[in-house]
Amino acid sequence: MTAETEAGDGNRGEDEWPVVSVIVPVYNDPEGLRDTLDALMAQTYPGTAHEILVVDNDSTDETPAVARAYAAEHDQVTFLVEADRQSSYAARNTGIENARGDVFAFVDADMLVDETWLVDAISAFERKDAEYMGCNVEMVPSEGGDSLAERYNRQTGFPIDYFIEDLGFAPTCCLFVRRSVLEDVGSFDSRLISSGDREFGHRVRDSGRELQYAADVTMYHPTRSTSEALIRKSRRIGRGLYQLRRFHPNRYDDPVPVALNPWPYLPPRPAQIRGIDGWDTLSRREKAGFYLLSYARGVSNGLGRIEETVRRHLPTRA
C-alpha cells in the first residue's frame, strides 16, 4: 500500500469520497460469496462512503444463510433477495433499486480484490472523468490445479480491453457505472440469461458516452477447472445471443436465423487459435487440446442458440 493510499488519496477527507454501492449477485455459491465478502470487508475505502448489497437469486443451498450472517455482523452489508426471476441481471437490478450510491460497482460472488481495490478504482474513475469503466481481470488457478481446461481458461479468460474497445462493453464482474448513466439509459435487461452486460454497454455507448478501461485496477477471477464448465458457459452465451436478437431485433438483426447460422459449427481458424496468448510455448499435445476446446466451445455456443430457439417455440401451459 502506498503512502498516498494510506492517507486516503492525499489529504482527502472521508466525506470527500463519492458514495459507492458495491452490488454482488449470487446463486448457490456460499464459498465464493464468503471469499468475496471477506475481500470487500477489508477495503481501505472509507466505511461511511460505501455499502455492499448482496442479492441472492433464490439459491437452494446455504448461500442465503451466509449472506444473512455477514449482514448481521457488518453494518455495511445489506442482504436482498431476487426470487421473481432467475437471472443475474434481475438480481443486479434489485441491487440498483435499493442502492444509495452515486457510483455502482458490480462484482461477481466468486471474485477477489486487493484491499486498496475500491480506492484505486474510484481514483481512476475520477481521474478519467469516467461514467462507465471496466477493470483489469486476472485469472487465478485453483490450488494445485493444472488441468488443460484451467490453462486454456487462463490464456483466454477476460481480455477486458478487447471487450471494451472492440465489442463495446465491459463484463459485469468488473464494472463501475455512475448512477446518472442508469437513470438515463435504464438498468439491465433482466430477461436475458447472458449478454445483458453487452446489451447494457451498447446502450451506454450509443448514448454518446465513452467506455473507459482501468488497466491498473486489477480484480481476480477463479479459473474454470473443467472442460464441462467451459462448455456450459459457452452454451449459456449462445442462449443469450439468441435472446438478444429476439428481444432487441432492431439493434441485433441477423440476416441468417441465429439457430441456423453455421458459423459456430465450423472449425476454428488457425490464425484465431495461434492468437491465444502463449501459443508458441505450448507443447504439440497442448495445442491440440486448446484447438479441441475452442472447437467444442463454438459448437456448444451454437447448441445454446438452438436450445433457446426450441424453448421459445414450445407451447406454454395454461
Chain position carrying cell 482501468? 214
* Domain assignment of residue 249, given as a range: 228-311
What pLDDT sits at residue 172?
96
pLDDT of 142 over the 80 cut: no
Tell whether 177 and 245 lie within a shared domain. no
Whether residue 93 lies inside any domain: the answer is yes
Single out the residue in 185, 204, 225 at which a domain terminates. Answer: 225
pLDDT of 317 over the 70 cut: no
What pLDDT sits at residue 208?
97
Q: How far is CA 57 from the centre of its chain?
A: 15
Domain count, the chain: 2
Q: What is the mean pLDDT of residues 143-172?
A: 86
Q: What is the bridge-based pairing of β-strands 174-178 and 103-107?
A: antiparallel
Where residue 155 sits, what CATH number does that domain have? 3.90.550.10
User: What is the Cα–Cα distance from 134 to 310, expressed in whole angstroms?
Assistant: 34
CB of 294 within 8 A of CB of 231?
no
Here the cell at position 72 is: 448481521
What pLDDT sits at residue 36?
97
Tell whether 178 and 285 lie within a shared domain. no
Lowest mean pLDDT among 82-91, 165-174, 180-189, 243-252: 243-252
263-302 confidence digits (pLDDT tens): 777 888 877 777 777 788 888 888 898 889 888 988 888 8
Here the cell at position 219 is: 480484480
The torsion defined by the Cα of 14, 17, 21 and 24, in degrees rounded to 10, comes to: -80
User: What is the Cα–Cα distance from 51 to 193, expressed in whole angstroms?
Assistant: 27
What pLDDT sits at residue 157?
78
21-69 confidence digits (pLDDT tens): 999 999 999 999 999 999 999 999 999 999 999 999 999 999 999 999 9
User: What is the Cα–Cα distance from 68 to 48, expressed in whole angstroms?
Assistant: 20
What pLDDT band is residue 158 in, cutting at 50, 70 and 90? confident
What pLDDT sits at residue 242?
86
What pLDDT sits at residue 75?
94
Portion of the chain with pLDDT greater than 90, in percent: 59
Q: What is the mean pLDDT of residues 234-243?
A: 89
Whether residue 318 lies inside any domain: the answer is no
pLDDT of 102 over the 50 cut: yes
Whether residue 269 lies inside any domain: the answer is yes
What pLDDT band is residue 4 in, cutting at 50, 70 and 90? very low
Tell whether 13 and 41 lie within a shared domain. yes
Tell whether 219 and 73 lie within a shared domain. yes
pLDDT of 261 over the 50 cut: yes
Whether residue 83 lies inside any domain: the answer is yes
What pLDDT sits at residue 9?
58
Single out the residue in 225, 240, 271 at which a domain terminates. Answer: 225
What pLDDT sits at residue 287?
87
Element housing 113 (H / E): strand 112-113
CA distances from 50 to 16, 44, 99, 107, 234 (A): 12, 11, 10, 14, 34
Lowest mean pLDDT among 74-83, 238-247, 254-263, 272-281: 254-263
181-232 confidence digits (pLDDT tens): 999 999 999 999 999 999 999 999 999 999 999 999 999 998 887 888 888 9
Give me the half-sphere count of Cα atoms (radius 13 Å) on the Cβ side of residue 230.
Answer: 25
Whether residue 77 lies inside any domain: the answer is yes
Chain position carrying cell 473507459? 212
Please state whether 219 falls in left (phi above 0), alpha (psi between -120 and 50) or beta: beta
What pLDDT sits at residue 314?
66
User: What is the Cα–Cα distance from 55 to 33, expressed in whole angstroms?
Assistant: 11
Here the cell at position 242 is: 439468441
What pLDDT band is residue 5 in, cutting at 50, 70 and 90? very low
- Closest Cα to residue 217, out of 248, 245, 255, 176? 176
Single out the residue in 225, 244, 275 at which a domain terminates. Answer: 225
One DSSP character per residue, 217-228 reads EEEEEEPP-SHH
Q: Starting at the earlier edge strand, list the strands of the sheet with 212-222.
A: 77-81, 50-56, 20-26, 103-107, 174-178, 132-140, 212-222, 112-113
Outline where 128-256 has alpha helix (H).
148-156, 160-162, 179-185, 196-206, 227-247
Whether residue 190 lies inside any domain: the answer is yes
Q: What is the mean pLDDT of residues 132-147?
A: 86
Mean pLDDT estimate for the chain = 89
169 vs 146, residue with greater confidence: 169
pLDDT of 2 over the 50 cut: no
Whether residue 216 lies inside any domain: the answer is yes
